[in-house]
Structure 1
Amino acid sequence: MFVFIYTNFSHEFNDFVEKAEAKHVTTVKQKLTRFYAQSESWQPIAEDMVLWRAIVDPEKEPVKPIVSEPRDTDDYQKKNSDNPAPSLLWLHHPEDLLKTGQRISLYDQDKNVVIGRTTLNENTQIEPILLSNKIIGWVGLVPSRRVKDSPAKAFVNAQFQNYFIFTLLVILLAFVMAIVLSRHLTKPIKQIVAGTNELTKGNFASRIIPTTKDELGTLSNNFNELADTLEHNREMRYQWMSDTSHELRTPLSVLRSHLLAVQDGVFVADEKRINTLIGQVDNLNHIVDDIAQLANSDTAKLTYDDAEIDVIEVLEKTLESYTARFEEQSLTLNSDALKSAGKCIVSGDKDRLQQLFTNLLENTCRYTHQGGQVNVTVNTTETSVELVLQDSAPSVLAADRSKLFERFYRVEKSRNRDFGGSGLGLALCKQIAEAHGGHISLEDSPLGGLEVKISLPLVG
C-alpha cells in the first residue's frame, strides 16, 4: 500500500507541478509580449531587477519600464531560498510557491541572455516569444524536477517521510494486534488441547472455563459435557463392579459356609440343607442372568423380535400366571379395566414385554404387605397406550423413588434377600420400555404404595 500510494501521489503531483509551471511560463510570455510592444527593447529589464521580478512574480502586475540600478540575480535567489519548505497542505497555495520565477531566463531574438542563465541551452524547456508572428525573444525554464532542492521535491520528500512513518506505525500496530488476536484465538485452543491431554491421562475431573461465546466457546462447553459424562461413567463403572461383587459374594458366602459346616459335621447334608444350597445357586443364576441381560442391552445386543402384538393380552396372561402368588400373599387383584380396553396393538417383542410385567408383579408380591390390593388400569390415546399398576402400602420415599431404576439399588439397605432381589429388575424394566419407544415412571399410589406407569406407542 505504501509503494502504491506513494507512486501514485508522486506521479499525480509531478503532473500538477508541470501544469502549474507551464501556466506560469505562459503568463510570463504574455507579460513580456506586452512589455516589448511598449518599450520595443529588453534593455529596461536587463537594467532593473525589480521590473523583472514584477514580470515573473504572478502576485504583482508588470510596471512601466523604469531605469534603476541593476540587481544581482544571485542575491534575489538567495533571499527567496530562505523561505520554509512547503507544508503538507497545497490547497489554496500561492502561485509562486513553486518558485518558478526564479528558474525563468530571458533571451533576445539572437538568443543572447537578457537576464538569467548565461546560455539558452542551459534551460531544459525553451519557448519563443512572438509578436505579430515574429520572434522577439526566448524564454528558458529549468523545470522543478531538474532542480535538486526545489520546493516541489522538498514537498514530495516530506510526503515520502510522512508516508513511511505512517507505514511503520501501521505495521507496528498490525504486529501488536496480530499478537493480541493470536493469543486471544489460541488461548481457548490451548485450553482444549490441555484438557484433552488430561482426559487421555484419565483425569476426567478436568474442566475448561469458556472464554468466548463463539464456536470455540461451544466446543469448550461440549468438552465439559464430555468430561462430565466420562467421569459419571467411570463412577458408575466402579459402583457397578462394587455392587456386582457384593451381590455375587452374598450367595457364595452362604454356599461356602454351609458346605464347610457339612464338611466339618456341623450340619447334616439332608434334603432341607440341600434345598437351601440349591436356593443360593438359583440366586446366583438369577443375578448372573440379570447382569448378562443388562450388559447385552448396554451394548445394543439384547435381542428384540419386533412384531405387532396386543399388549393387553400379554399383560392379562402375565397376571394369570401370578394368580397363585397373589393368593399366597393374600393380595386382591382388580384388573377389570383390561377387559373393556379392547385391543392395543404395539410393535415389540412379546417375551421382553412379558419379562417387564413379570419383574413389576414380582416386586409387588415381594414388597406389598399381606392382605393388600393391586389395581391395573389402562389409558389410551390416538398414539399411545398407558398401563398403570397400583399397589397398597408400603410406599417409598421420594428420595429413594428417583433411584429405583438404578442398577443394584434397593430401598432395603441391608440387601437381605428376604426383602428383595438383586436390585436389577427395575433397571431391566426401564431398558425394555425404552427399547420399545416408550417410558416408565414411578409415583405414589392412591392405595398407599407405588404406582407404575408404562407408556408405549401404538401401531399406526
Structure 2
Amino acid sequence: MSDSAFDGGAAQRRAPGLRARLLAAIALAVLVGFLTAWAVASAIGPPIFHAHLLESGTADPVVNQHAEAAFRTASGLSLALALVAAAVSSIIVSASIARRIERRLAGVRRAAEQVAVGDYAARAPLLGMGSEFDELAGAFNTMAADLAGIEAARTRMLSELAHEMRTPAAVLEAYLEAIRDGVVHADEPTIEMLRAQVARLTRLSHDIALVTTAEEGRLAMRRARLPARRLLEGAAAQVVGRAADADVRFSVDVAPSAEGALLDADVDRLGQVLTNLLDNALRHTPAGGHVRLGADRVGDRLRITVCDDGEGIPREHLPRIFDRFYRVDTARDRAHGGSGVGLSIVRSITEAHGGSVSARSDGLGRGAVFAVELPVVTDRHGAGGAGGTGS
C-alpha cells in the first residue's frame, strides 16, 4: 500500500509537460480575451445602436424594442461564434507549435541524458526556433565539449600517475621479496636504494597535490615585498653545486633595469618556480653546456629567463610543455628522474602571482628558453626599505 501510495503521490506531484503548460496558457489567454471582448461589446454596442435608432426617426417603441433585441441576439451570437472559432483555431495552432517545440527539445533532452551517463560526444541539435533556443543548444554543446576535455585530461592524468607509481612500487616489491627470501641482503646500498624509491613516491604525491591545489586557486601564499636580486641569488645558490657536478657552466645575468625591481610574492613559491626551471635545464643540458639565469625589466613587469644550450624542444611540443605529465620524450625524462609535473607547478605558481610563463626553442639540439614574467611593485621607501621587508 505504501509503495503504490508513494508512486501515486509522485505521479500527482509530477509537473505537467511543456505542451500542457503552453496549451493551458493559450487557453487562459483566449478565455480572458473572450470575456474582455464580450464585456466591451455588451457595454458599447447596444447604446450605439440605440442612438442610431433615435437618429433614424423611428418613433414606434415596439419597433425600437424589437430592433434592439434583434441586435443584441445577433451581435451576441456572432461574437460568441467568432470567439469560439478563434479559440479553437488558437488551440490547434498552439498545439502544433507546442508539439514542434517538444519534438525539437527531445533532441536536447536525449543529448543531456547521454552526457549524464558519460557520453561526452553527444551534441544537441540546433533547434531552428529562434536565437534563444540556438544559443541554449550552443551553450550545451560547449559544456559537453569542455566536459569531454576534462574527462580526457583526468583519464590521461590517472594513467600517467599509475605509470609513475608503478615503477618505484615494483622496485620496492621486488627488493622486499628478495630480502625476505634471502637473495638480497638489507645492506646500506640496498636501504639507500629503497629510500630513494620511497622519496620518489613521496615527491610525486607532493607535486600532484601542489599543482592540483594551485590550479584550483587554493594555494596558500605568504606574500611580502621581495627584491628580485634576492630571489635570483637564492635560486642560483641551490643549483650552482649541481651544475658544477654535471660539468655544466652556470651564470647569472641581471640587467641594470632589474637590479632594484621589487615583487609582491611568496619567496618560497617563486623559489620553487626557478628551482624547477633550473633543474629542468640541467637535466637536459649535456656536460660542457651552459645554463644561464637572467632578468630584465619590461615595462611594469620583471622578466626572468632560464636559457640552456642543451637538447631543445621540438616545435610541435611547445604548446603542451606545461601540461601535467606531458613529456617530449617519455623514456628520456623518466631516465632523468622527473615527475612530469614540474613545469605544471611552474605555470600554476606563476599564474597565482599574476604572471605568465612561456617556452621557446629552435628545435632539437638547439637549447630552450623559459621566460617567467611577474608584475613589479613600486617601492616608495627606497631599496633599503624594500630589502628589510623580505621574509
* Structure-1-length-normalised TM-score: 0.65
Q: By how many angstroms is 1:357 displaced?
A: 0.5
Measured in 1, the distance between the counterparts of 2:81 and 2:235 equals: 92
Q: Check conservation: 1:255, 1:280, Cα contact below 8 A.
A: yes
Q: How does 1:270-419 map to 2 (within 5 A)?
A: 270-338=187-255, 341-414=258-331, 417-419=334-336
Measured in 2, the distance between the counterparts of 1:426 and 1:213 equals: 46
Which residue identity lines up with residue 266 of structure 2 in the other structure?
D
Which residue identity lines up with residue 351 of structure 1 in the other structure?
D
Other-structure match for 1:256: 173
Q: How does 1:24-423 map to 2 (within 5 A)?
A: 141=60, 143-147=62-66, 159-183=75-99, 198-211=114-127, 212-338=129-255, 341-414=258-331, 417-423=334-340
Measured in 1, the distance between the counterparts of 2:362 and 2:304 equals: 14
Measured in 2, the distance between the counterparts of 1:184 and 1:343 equals: 69
Q: Check conservation: 2:315, 2:362, Cα contact below 8 A.
A: no
Q: By how many angstroms is 1:208 displaced?
A: 2.4
Other-structure match for 1:120: none
Q: Check conservation: 2:254, 2:296, Cα contact below 8 A.
A: no
Other-structure match for 1:457: 375
Q: By how many angstroms is 1:256 displaced?
A: 2.1
* Structure-2-length-normalised TM-score: 0.75
Query: Residues 365, 213 of structure 1: CA spacing in aligned structure 2 closer, same or farther, 3 A cutoff?
Result: farther
Other-structure match for 1:427: 344
Other-structure match for 2:45: 9
Q: By how many angstroms is 1:330 displaced?
A: 2.5
Greater mean deviation of Cα atoms: 249-258 or 344-353: 249-258
Measured in 1, the distance between the counterparts of 2:121 and 2:275 equals: 40
Q: By how many angstroms is 1:222 displaced?
A: 3.1
CA-based RMSD of the aligned residues comes to 3.1
Q: Check conservation: 1:440, 1:454, Cα contact below 8 A.
A: yes
Q: Check conservation: 2:312, 2:361, Cα contact below 8 A.
A: yes
Greater mean deviation of Cα atoms: 10-19 or 244-253: 10-19
Higher relative contact order (CA 8 A, sep 6+): 2
Other-structure match for 1:19: 55
Q: By how many angstroms is 1:305 displaced?
A: 0.4
The structure with the largest alpha-carbon Rg is: 1
Q: What secondary structure is seen at the aligned counterpart in 1 of 2:225? A: strand
In structure 1, the gaps of 5 or more residues are: 23-124, 126-140
Which residue identity lines up with residue 444 of structure 1 in the other structure?
S
Query: Residues 342, 415 of structure 1: CA spacing in aligned structure 2 closer, same or farther, 3 A cutoff?
Result: closer
Q: Check conservation: 2:327, 2:333, Cα contact below 8 A.
A: no
Q: By how many angstroms is 1:187 displaced?
A: 6.3
Query: Residues 143, 288 of structure 1: CA spacing in aligned structure 2 closer, same or farther, 3 A cutoff?
Result: same
Q: By how many angstroms is 1:263 displaced?
A: 4.0
Q: Check conservation: 1:314, 1:354, Cα contact below 8 A.
A: yes
Q: What secondary structure is seen at the aligned counterpart in 1 of 2:369? A: strand
Higher fraction of helix = 2
Q: Check conservation: 2:261, 2:302, Cα contact below 8 A.
A: yes
Which residue identity lines up with residue 432 of structure 1 in the other structure?
I
Q: Check conservation: 1:390, 1:445, Cα contact below 8 A.
A: no
Query: Residues 388, 191 of structure 1: CA spacing in aligned structure 2 closer, same or farther, 3 A cutoff?
Result: same
Deviations along 1:372-409, whole A, 9 cap, x unmatched?
22233333234211112221131112232222212122
Measured in 2, the distance between the counterparts of 1:424 and 1:376 equals: 21
Which residue identity lines up with residue 452 of structure 1 in the other structure?
F
Query: Residues 19, 329 of structure 1: CA spacing in aligned structure 2 closer, same or farther, 3 A cutoff?
Result: same
Other-structure match for 1:50: none
Deviations along 1:132-179, whole A, 9 cap, x unmatched?
xxxxxxxxx4652345xx6x8767755555444432332233323433
Which residue identity lines up with residue 396 of structure 1 in the other structure?
I
Query: Residues 181, 444 of structure 1: CA spacing in aligned structure 2 closer, same or farther, 3 A cutoff?
Result: same
In structure 2, the gaps of 5 or more residues are: 1-36, 379-391
Q: By how many angstroms is 1:445 displaced?
A: 5.2
Percent of residue pairs identical:
26
Query: Residues 266, 166 of structure 1: CA spacing in aligned structure 2 closer, same or farther, 3 A cutoff?
Result: same
Q: What secondary structure is seen at the aligned counterpart in 2 of 1:414? A: helix
Measured in 2, the distance between the counterparts of 1:251 and 1:163 equals: 89
Query: Residues 144, 263 of structure 1: CA spacing in aligned structure 2 closer, same or farther, 3 A cutoff?
Result: same
The answer as to 2:360 corresponding to 1:443 is yes
Measured in 1, the distance between the counterparts of 2:229 and 2:160 equals: 35
